[in-house]
Amino acid sequence: MVPAINYWAVLIATASSMAVGAIWYARGVFGTYWMKLVGHDEESMRKGAAFPLIITFVVSFITAWVLAGATDIAFHFYNGTFFWNAVLTGVVLWAGFTAARMITHDAFDRRPSSLTVLNLAHELVTIVVMAIIIGVWPPAGA
């Protein structure tokens, strides 16, 4: 079975990831705190800023695409509503892959637990927003 994917929803979910990150890491929200935890300052943030944004867009597209496909598979397996399958699939994938792997890497990198929690919360919000977008805009026939 090849999952049905609404690529418009995937593109909007990709853009939402960029918007969530821009808000989350804004200096007035968590940006100043995050910069302190990772050792950035205003100057280091300005240098080479384009490359991380390009990478973020590409991997956000991949994340949204995988989430859309996994949601369609879950929808056909579990039935129910496409929306709730999207949200539940997003949270389960976040817990099983993003959170589990980030906690492991941050433990070995000896990053502050506050940084891990901050980044995990950001990823959860990002995935849930993506899931909501994908869930309210299912592919044709779903």
pLDDT along the chain (142 residues), means of 10: 92 98 95 92 80 95 98 94 97 97 95 96 98 94 68
> Is the backbone of residue 37 left (phi > 0), alpha (psi -120 to 50) or beta?
alpha
- pLDDT confidence of residue 142: 67
- pLDDT confidence of residue 109: 92
